[in-house]
């Protein structure tokens, strides 16, 4: 008796490939071998670029918001996995490097609704951005992490589950908590990770 995966696997792959082609047809660029699981939410896909081997889990929201500027940019590098239920929306600019692994429910937003006018509800106030977000190559982002605008995450940085990142994260470091705090750093002389305490 063949295993269910052997029977349905190729059919599912065919359906997912077709789905990926359909939902990315208005993207700016889509590399080879990308895989997007249903259901992808995207309303302004024209300024989204995916490298090769990018995979998205179920129910992601990957988008740009054009209310701040006409051509925001969301660029995702090669060999990036974005876990299920994640949300990445650029009103200004978000860059994700190569070989980046994001767990489930990661939120990356370079903008918010302004709240400073007390005469208007926040929902009625314009979008504002503190600046772009860059995530360098080889990073790991834990489940439920939230990354806000004007933040640079250095190469091979590790962001703990549930962290809220509002400031730059150095390369080869581990940052956890709310707000994110440095707990470990790789020492290239000693060739090991050291506690930042
Ligand atoms: C960030 C992480 C990778 C660090 O792992 P680690 O290097 O083994 O860290 P340690 O277990 O040595 O923890 C070091 C300290 O940081 C704390 N810490 C670790 N992760 C934390 C987190 N996400 N939030 C807050 N504190 C955290 C620990 O409690 C410990 O504190 P202490 O020194 O006061 O005891 C890991 O804790 C993590 O969050 N992984 C993400 C898991 C995930 O999202 N999985 C999804 C499936 S892929």
CB-CB contact of 114 with 131 (8 Å): no
The string of pLDDT tens digits covering residues 41-97 is: 999 999 999 999 999 999 999 999 999 999 999 999 999 999 999 999 999 999 999
What does the pLDDT read at residue 150? 95
Instruction: Please give the distance, rounded to the nearest whole angstrom, from the Cα atom of residue 183 to the centre of ligand 1.
Output: 9
Instruction: Please give the distance, rounded to the nearest whole angstrom, from the Cα atom of residue 160 to the centre of ligand 1.
Output: 6
CB-CB contact of 154 with 175 (8 Å): no
CB-CB contact of 97 with 139 (8 Å): yes
- Residue whose CA lies nearest to ligand 1 atom number 5: 160
What's the CATH number for 4-195?
2.160.10.10
Domain layout of the chain by residue ranges: 4-195
Handedness of CA 11, 29, 70, 80 (dihedral sign): positive
What is d(CA 74, CA 108) in angstroms, rounded to the nearest whole number?
Answer: 11
The string of pLDDT tens digits covering residues 135-193 is: 999 999 999 999 998 999 999 999 999 999 999 999 999 999 999 999 999 999 999 99
Q: Per residue in 181-192, is it b (16+ CB within 10 Å) or e — as a string?
A: ebbbbbeeeeee
- Residue whose CA lies nearest to ligand 1 atom number 30: 183
**Ligand 1 atom closest to residue 162's alpha carbon, by position in its atom list:** 23
Instruction: Please give the distance, rounded to the nearest whole angstrom, from the Cα atom of residue 90 to the centre of ligand 1.
Output: 28
Instruction: Please give the distance, rounded to the nearest whole angstrom, from the Cα atom of residue 88 to the centre of ligand 1.
Output: 23
């Amino acid at each position: 008796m063949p295993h269910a995966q052997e029977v349905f696997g190729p059919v599912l792959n065919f359906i997912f490939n077709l789905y990926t082609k359909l939902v990315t047809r208005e993207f700016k660029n889509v590399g080879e071998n990308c895989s997007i699981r249903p259901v992808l939410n995207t309303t302004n896909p024209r300024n989204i670029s995916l490298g090769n081997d990018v995979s998205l889990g179920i129910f992601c929201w990957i988008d740009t918001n054009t209310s701040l500027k006409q051509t925001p940019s969301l660029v995702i590098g090669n060999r990036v996995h974005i876990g299920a239920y994640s949300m990445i929306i650029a009103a200004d600019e978000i860059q994700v490097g190569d070989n980046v692994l994001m767990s489930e429910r990661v939120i990356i937003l370079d903008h918010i609704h302004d709240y400073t006018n007390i005469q208007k509800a926040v929902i009625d106030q314009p979008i504002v951005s503190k600046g772009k977000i860059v995530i360098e190559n080889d990073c790991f982002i834990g489940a439920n992490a939230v990354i806000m605008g004007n933040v640079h995450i250095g190469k091979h940085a590790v962001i703990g589950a549930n962290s809220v990142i509002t400031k730059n994260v150095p390369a080869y470091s581990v940052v956890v908590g709310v707000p994110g705090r440095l707990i470990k750093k790789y020492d290239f002389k000693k060739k090991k990770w050291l506690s930042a305490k």
